[in-house]
Chain A
Amino acid sequence: MEELFGVSMNIIMVALLVILIPSLAVVAVMAWRNRVMLKMGLRNIPRRPAQTVLIILGIMISTLIMAAAFGTGDTISYSIRIEAIKALGTIDEVISLPRASEDDNFGSQPYMPFDRFLQLSEETAGIENIDGLGPGIAEFAPVLNPRTSLSEGNMRIVGVFPDSVAEFGGLNLSSGGSARIEDLGSEHVYLNDDAAEELDAVEGDEVRIFLGDEELTFRVLGILEPGGLAGPDPTLAMPLERAQAVFGREGQINSIAVSNKGGVFSGAEHSEEVTRQLRVLFADPQVAEELKLLLMGADALDALERREQDLTGSLQAELASVRAELAKDGVSDKLISLLADRQVSEEILEALGSGGLRDAERQAVTLFDDLGELSIIDIKAQLIEIADEAGGQVTTFFVIFGLFSIMVGVLLIFLIFVMLAAARRTEMGMARAVGARRRHLVQMFVFEGSAYALVSGAVGVVLGLVASALIVAIVNRIFASTSGFEDFQMTRHFEARSVVVAYCLGTFITLATVGVSAYRVSRTNIVAAVRGLPDTAAVDTKGWREIALAPALAALRPFRLTGRGGSALLALQPLTSLGYLAQAWWAALTVPITIVQTLAQLIWRPFRQGWLALALGVVILFSSMQSNEISVFRIGGALTIVGLGLSMRSLLRSAQMRPDLRDRIAYTFMGVLMLAFWVVPFGWLSAVFGTLEGGGPELFFISGIAMVAAAVWTVMYNADLLLKLLTFITRPVGMLRPVLVTAVAYPMSSKFRTGLTLAMFALVIFTLIVMSILTRAFSTAAADVETSTLGWDIEGSVNFNTPIEDIRQAIADHPDLSPADFEAVGGYTTIPIEARQPGAENQRWRWYAVRAASDDFLDAAGGKLKIIADGYGDTAEEVWQALKDDSSLAVVDALAVPSRSRFDDSEVPFAMEGIFYEDERMDPIELEVREPNSGQIVNLKVIGVLDQLTDAFGQIGVGMFVSKSALDDAISFQIPITTYRFRVAPGVDLPQTANAVEAAFQKHGMETEVLEELVDEAAAANRAFNYLFTGFMGLGLLVGIAAVGVISLRAVVERRQQIGAQRAIGYRRRMIQLSFLFESSFVVLLGVAIGVGLGTVISYNIVSEIRNELESIQFSIPWLQIGIIVAVAYLFSLLTTYLPARQASRIYPAEALRYE
């Protein structure tokens, strides 16, 4: 994994080390200078081992989540890399013809003369980093092993040029030793391992290749190790000359593989340079010159600059390079190379298009087409990049989903230090009374916190890697039972860099939280602390002027001290001088801290008073209405409410209202309003504030935090009402009443501590409930087989080289098949085309696909369409019929229509304008479709949009449905049907029929799937991944449970004397124990109730919103799963409380009363 949130992991690591190492060094220096505070800070760690263990477990959660996320990302990245390397072997780039000619077949790579390879060999002789070129042929055909009756419908047949084999590291037999392609006779072939496995073939077997009506038999001379020239997928290899004869392509090749200097891994390092040199070699300088002139126009340059600002990462850098090269004289090799890069050319066209430079865009399209004679794909480098991106995305995903747990972990650290401070209040007060400064108290806590942070970081990394290994094992199991992924197994892999980053991040989060909580602790009132009185709010007596001048004074201090050092030196006092200089150095180091502190103080006061938050919130709210961004709107709204509440509090304070009443009014107002703001369905907000779009997982995070905070404020500032209610309710419960009353009274009297614990529990439960409900909702949606499959039962695909002329007739003719078993049979072919929408803002031709469906298919297809154009009926059947009757009509897939709220905004090749997936109705939309080879344009009218489930589970893929007859005239080559769909008669066994069809049309490469099984598998995999994420997010529960344990342990210590008094007035042991258990139960269950309530409401809103896109999704509460989550949370919390409770109940009254 190379990047996280778009930032290089190397940069992240260096930045973290740069922050952390000096921070730790500062702590170490402070410790060395102030050993008394160091001792005071550290002595508590071994004193209470159980508490220390709980604290470390609680604190490590941030590191654990980071390490688990990074470890999983590394594993995915590494596994894909390894797959890519295994598949490509020594092949680094592939050269092919960019355009097909009339002689080329549908579905094959365009052919070029073998002589072009010979010429290329001479041209590239000077390129130092190329150590081999391998001309070849790659085609696909069905292959059968008669001995085992097993077949492979889409076997790759490669023709290998014997003279090039050595340059690509040779071909190896899987039984050991080298294979010599030149030794193969005209009737001999090699199979690679994958092919041998598919056909269950061994050396000496006969295999048959089906090519149209022709059937060719070969003997297998050996089994090759896969990869490189031996191919990544099931591959059958023969000498190039023989392949040319087999496919009727004498003297021709359709690809040239390039091997770079270096091994399978290091070869890719030269890819950029080799690709650049080859692109320059293949480019037409005249065309490049024309392109340069076109792009040098001021408007074009502006458009490029704007586009560059929209991009990130390597593409942004490449576009910047284009602009830099355009500014230079002449046409540099670098510019040619950049222009010949397909991704860069796409961005340039996008820039021109979105800049409104239509003419320039059209000219550029033509020039880009003419620029390179051959196209070069740096395949290995691209696959490695994809591997890294996938790893990065997975890590980002896990980190985002782990944010809740990290947040809960931060709250726990804060809570722990607040409690430790409470426990040591008197001793700290005494320390302050005898002269200790605030910073000494901060230091004491920082020393203790640093010790916890360093140890828990290490524990967290180790456990995080274990969690990542567990995740990988689960994902492997999911893959093993999912079609298409059976062969992909991830290999555990952790980069040392990720371990360092996880450790540093976790430790840094802990240290930062410790710093903040230590600062809060240090502001204790000395008298109140010594006398054990309730703490009064620390009043900041510093004036604005004093605060504002602090950075300037801090900045001057090093100079003043240096000056004194100089004076001391002049006075011949070298030691004093050295002391001053050391102080000056230290003062210089702390200047940034003072500046940050000043800024915080300057902002904090008006923020606390409310008006700054209010002003900021209103500004953000208004800006969100301009951008229509829902995330910004939500943040602005939440800030406005907080600002309103705090302003109200300030006003009430001016009115001299009693503090408790003032706080209750302000925080209840804030809490209730905030809850209402987040609970209101999205649709209502849009109705009031206009259309709001966007939103992603981060919004879920923000909503969780805001809602839980609001609920906790409301509950905690009205706790006395709750207590009164409980007192009233428990009147009849006799002896349990005193237990219940104290169990509620204690937590409610420590608002901050209880509020934090409540927030922790509520947050974790909130996330788990939302995940559970959404998983259930998507599972019900995924189970909609009719929509997913368009009403078909079996899908069968045949090789495009061996199509079936008339499937109905073929079924009737085959002795093993009965036409009566099939209610309907239809088929279609997917053809890559280019499309654009006349009148739309974007007029570029975009890659898209057409699914040319037979009349039989359109006659029998069913399913459900998301949108149907006015005048074309109400049902899918009516639309399919319309398509059949009018060959100019089309139905597009869901991805071709933009969504207002799709979380995944990944680029789709073609998207229409003027319509949204959430729309209820549409007018027919005109489209132009261009066949790329012939350039023939067909005009189509879109009258419907498929449901997104059809693409998600139905194996259909991207593309629009049209009647096949619409394209037959427009496309120069014949379109064979490659995908068949069967609907079987009632009572017919599906798997058996699927197998029978596959066996019957083996020669055509028929491979069948039962669609319902695919839907079920996909739904099961989806569910399994959701459970995995739920489990990952459940890690936060550990923190909540640890928090309850820590609180209970502390409570036993803090309340020892009170326990003694309770025992003296007649509390039995069991009552003391129950009191602690009830107390934990109260906090946990209240947190759980808040989490379940809010989670259910927000899930309902999310499901309602998704229903706009996915009609089949249903809101239903998974009671069992929620019951299990609640039970686990509650039982484990009780378990962690049980021991302290037991300990409390066993304290002898006299002993407890004696305790101070």
Chain B
Amino acid sequence: MQEYIVDATGLQKTYDTGLVSVAALRGVDLQVKRGEMVAIMGPSGCGKTTLLNCLSGLDEIDSGQVLIDGTVLHDLPDDARSDYRARSMGFVFQLYNLLPVLTAVENVEMPLLVSGVNAAQARRRSMELLDLVGLSERASHLPAELSGGQRQRVTIARALVNEPSIVWADEPTGDLDSETANDIMDLMCGLNQDNGQTFVLVTHGDEIGARAHRIVRMRDGRIEDDGGLPQTGETANSLAEPGN
């Protein structure tokens, strides 16, 4: 088993609109240990979301290398990368990005169905996850019929339904009030603690960041402070409860 679930070196990414060229990542190195909860923070436009997208394979990189659990994600063909995401990754977005035409449970079971899991199993597992996030009674509601916090819980359930080894969360509490944001963070920290799943989250909020094991600070497309990578041999179990 690889020690680092995420091992990125020399990541460079430039956006070229034709008129303007913006260097979003200027040689980023980042390692994340299995079971770790890492918060990426920094001012707007510093490249946090770009880094998350590049690490998770949602976006291409210009140069450098990303190893996810020992797999060079960017070398994979698009279909294989999609399959990898479906099997081994979960995503939580600021704007939830639920499919508005599907109910909560249907949204949650989507990654399983995409991975080819049997429909009955998928439904059972999705209900378990909804139960876990406290929304089993709202399973048949459409996203429009749920509050922001509830929607984000559904998103988290969706992110975790396929038991991913890593969950990427882009501003998971950015659209929520502080009370709900805390609830969501409680939920994520609990899951991280209980299941040993790795969480990489992008956030603006210091309070949110403070609840992670480690804060990686970025500025102008570079990592300013990697927050002190845990020592080799230190595992999720030996990591302290995040935020404590």
CB 8 Å contact bits of B84-107 with A (1 = contact, 0 = none)? 011100010101011111100010
B119 touches A1066 (CB 8 A): no
A1060–B100 Cα gap in the complex (Å)? 14
Closest to B86 in A: A1066
Which of B28-36, B109-117, B178-186, B219-227 contacts the other chain?
B109-117
A1063 touches B82 (CB 8 A): yes
Which of B53-61, B125-133, B235-243 contacts the other chain?
B53-61
CB 8 Å contact bits of B41-52 with A (1 = contact, 0 = none)? 000000001100
B87 touches A1066 (CB 8 A): yes
B114 touches A1064 (CB 8 A): no
A738–B98 Cα gap in the complex (Å)? 14
Is B120 part of the binding interface, using a Cβ–Cβ cutoff of 8 Å? yes
B116 touches A1064 (CB 8 A): no
The distance from the CB of A236 to the nearest CB of chain B, in whole angstroms, is 81
Is A685 part of the binding interface, using a Cβ–Cβ cutoff of 8 Å? no
CB 8 Å contact bits of B8-37 with A (1 = contact, 0 = none)? 000000000000000000000000000000
The distance from the CB of A951 to the nearest CB of chain B, in whole angstroms, is 60
Q: A735-B114, A742-B102 are in contact. List 16 more A-B contacts (CB 8 A).
A: A737-B113, A738-B113, A742-B101, A1058-B97, A1061-B93, A1061-B98, A1061-B99, A1062-B99, A1064-B56, A1064-B85, A1064-B97, A1065-B91, A1065-B110, A1065-B158, A1148-B58, A1149-B58
A1066–B90 Cα gap in the complex (Å)? 9
A282–B101 Cα gap in the complex (Å)? 84
Is A1122 part of the binding interface, using a Cβ–Cβ cutoff of 8 Å? no
Listed residue (A730, A737, A1063, A1064) with the most chain B CB atoms within 10 angstroms of its CB = A1064
| In the complex, chain B residues whose CB is within 8 Å of the CB of A1149 | 53, 58-59
Known: A742-B99, A1061-B99, A1149-B58. A1066 touches B93 (CB 8 A): no
Specify which of B56, B59, B87, B97 is in contact with A1057 (CB 8 Å cutoff): B97
Q: Which of A1017-1066 contact B (CB under 8 A)?
A: 1057-1058, 1060-1066
11 contacts between A and B (CB under 8 A): A730-B119, A738-B110, A745-B99, A749-B101, A1058-B100, A1063-B58, A1064-B56, A1064-B85, A1066-B86, A1071-B114, A1148-B60
| In the complex, chain A residues whose CB is within 8 Å of the CB of B86 | 1065-1067
The distance from the CB of A233 to the nearest CB of chain B, in whole angstroms, is 71
Listed residue (B85, B100, B119, B170) with the most chain A CB atoms within 10 angstroms of its CB = B119
A1065 touches B53 (CB 8 A): no
Is A986 part of the binding interface, using a Cβ–Cβ cutoff of 8 Å? no
| In the complex, chain A residues whose CB is within 8 Å of the CB of B83 | 1066, 1068
Q: Is the interface of B mostly helix, strand, loop or mixed?
A: helix
Known: A746-B101, A1058-B99, A1058-B100. A1065 touches B114 (CB 8 A): yes
Known: A1061-B91, A1064-B58. A748 touches B101 (CB 8 A): yes
Q: Which of A522-581 contact B (CB under 8 A)?
A: 533-534
| In the complex, chain B residues whose CB is within 8 Å of the CB of A749 | 100-101
Is A1150 part of the binding interface, using a Cβ–Cβ cutoff of 8 Å? yes
A1066 touches B106 (CB 8 A): no
A1065–B86 Cα gap in the complex (Å)? 5
The distance from the CB of A752 to the nearest CB of chain B, in whole angstroms, is 14
| In the complex, chain A residues whose CB is within 8 Å of the CB of B58 | 1060, 1063-1064, 1148-1150, 1153
A1066 touches B59 (CB 8 A): no
Listed residue (A746, A1063, A1066) with the most chain B CB atoms within 10 angstroms of its CB = A1066
Is B146 part of the binding interface, using a Cβ–Cβ cutoff of 8 Å? no
CB 8 Å contact bits of A140-172 with B (1 = contact, 0 = none)? 000000000000000000000000000000000
Is B79 part of the binding interface, using a Cβ–Cβ cutoff of 8 Å? yes
A748–B103 Cα gap in the complex (Å)? 13
The distance from the CB of B64 to the nearest CB of chain A, in whole angstroms, is 16
A735–B117 Cα gap in the complex (Å)? 8
Is A731 part of the binding interface, using a Cβ–Cβ cutoff of 8 Å? yes
Is A956 part of the binding interface, using a Cβ–Cβ cutoff of 8 Å? no
Is B234 part of the binding interface, using a Cβ–Cβ cutoff of 8 Å? no
| In the complex, chain A residues whose CB is within 8 Å of the CB of B116 | 734-735
The distance from the CB of B146 to the nearest CB of chain A, in whole angstroms, is 12
The distance from the CB of A347 to the nearest CB of chain B, in whole angstroms, is 66
Q: Is the interface of A mostly helix, strand, loop or mixed?
A: helix
A731–B122 Cα gap in the complex (Å)? 10
Is B207 part of the binding interface, using a Cβ–Cβ cutoff of 8 Å? no
Is A1151 part of the binding interface, using a Cβ–Cβ cutoff of 8 Å? yes
Number of chain B residues close to chain A: CB under 8 A: 35
Is B144 part of the binding interface, using a Cβ–Cβ cutoff of 8 Å? yes
Specify which of A748, A1057, A1150 is in contact with B95 (CB 8 Å cutoff): A1057
Listed residue (B50, B53, B120) with the most chain A CB atoms within 10 angstroms of its CB = B53
B106 touches A1061 (CB 8 A): no
A1065 touches B59 (CB 8 A): no
A1064 touches B113 (CB 8 A): no
Is B194 part of the binding interface, using a Cβ–Cβ cutoff of 8 Å? no
Q: Which of A1098-1156 contact B (CB under 8 A)?
A: 1148-1151, 1153-1154
A44–B111 Cα gap in the complex (Å)? 37
B102 touches A745 (CB 8 A): yes
The distance from the CB of A534 to the nearest CB of chain B, in whole angstroms, is 6
B113 touches A735 (CB 8 A): yes
Is B206 part of the binding interface, using a Cβ–Cβ cutoff of 8 Å? no
Closest to B103 in A: A745
Q: Which of B194-225 contact A (CB under 8 A)?
A: none
| In the complex, chain A residues whose CB is within 8 Å of the CB of B60 | 1148
The distance from the CB of B84 to the nearest CB of chain A, in whole angstroms, is 8
Number of chain A residues close to chain B: CB under 8 A: 35
Known: A533-B144, A1063-B58. A1150 touches B53 (CB 8 A): yes
The distance from the CB of A302 to the nearest CB of chain B, in whole angstroms, is 69
B82 touches A1066 (CB 8 A): yes
Is A814 part of the binding interface, using a Cβ–Cβ cutoff of 8 Å? no
Is A1069 part of the binding interface, using a Cβ–Cβ cutoff of 8 Å? yes
| In the complex, chain A residues whose CB is within 8 Å of the CB of B120 | 731
A1068 touches B59 (CB 8 A): no
Is B78 part of the binding interface, using a Cβ–Cβ cutoff of 8 Å? yes
The distance from the CB of A375 to the nearest CB of chain B, in whole angstroms, is 77
Is A1070 part of the binding interface, using a Cβ–Cβ cutoff of 8 Å? yes
6 A-B pairs with the lowest CB-CB distances in the bound complex, closest first: A1066-B86, A1150-B59, A1061-B97, A1150-B53, A745-B101, A749-B101
Q: Which of B116-155 contact A (CB under 8 A)?
A: 116, 119-120, 144
A925–B58 Cα gap in the complex (Å)? 89
B119 touches A737 (CB 8 A): yes
Is A722 part of the binding interface, using a Cβ–Cβ cutoff of 8 Å? no
Is A616 part of the binding interface, using a Cβ–Cβ cutoff of 8 Å? no
Known: A742-B102, A1148-B60. A1153 touches B113 (CB 8 A): no
A731 touches B101 (CB 8 A): no
Specify which of A742, A1061, A1067 is in contact with B82 (CB 8 Å cutoff): A1067
The distance from the CB of B71 to the nearest CB of chain A, in whole angstroms, is 15
A534–B110 Cα gap in the complex (Å)? 24
A735–B112 Cα gap in the complex (Å)? 9
| In the complex, chain B residues whose CB is within 8 Å of the CB of A1063 | 58, 82
The distance from the CB of B105 to the nearest CB of chain A, in whole angstroms, is 11
Known: A741-B102, A742-B102, A1150-B58. A1065 touches B144 (CB 8 A): no
B113 touches A1068 (CB 8 A): no
A129–B116 Cα gap in the complex (Å)? 92
A785–B136 Cα gap in the complex (Å)? 74
Known: A741-B106, A742-B99, A1150-B58. A1068 touches B111 (CB 8 A): no
B99 touches A1069 (CB 8 A): no
Q: Which of A738-772 contact B (CB under 8 A)?
A: 738, 741-742, 745-746, 748-749
The distance from the CB of B164 to the nearest CB of chain A, in whole angstroms, is 10
Known: A738-B110, A738-B113. A1066 touches B79 (CB 8 A): no
A533–B146 Cα gap in the complex (Å)? 12
A1151–B83 Cα gap in the complex (Å)? 19
A299–B40 Cα gap in the complex (Å)? 102
A1068 touches B78 (CB 8 A): yes
B79 touches A1068 (CB 8 A): yes
| In the complex, chain B residues whose CB is within 8 Å of the CB of A1066 | 82-83, 85-87, 111, 114-115
| In the complex, chain A residues whose CB is within 8 Å of the CB of B78 | 1068-1069
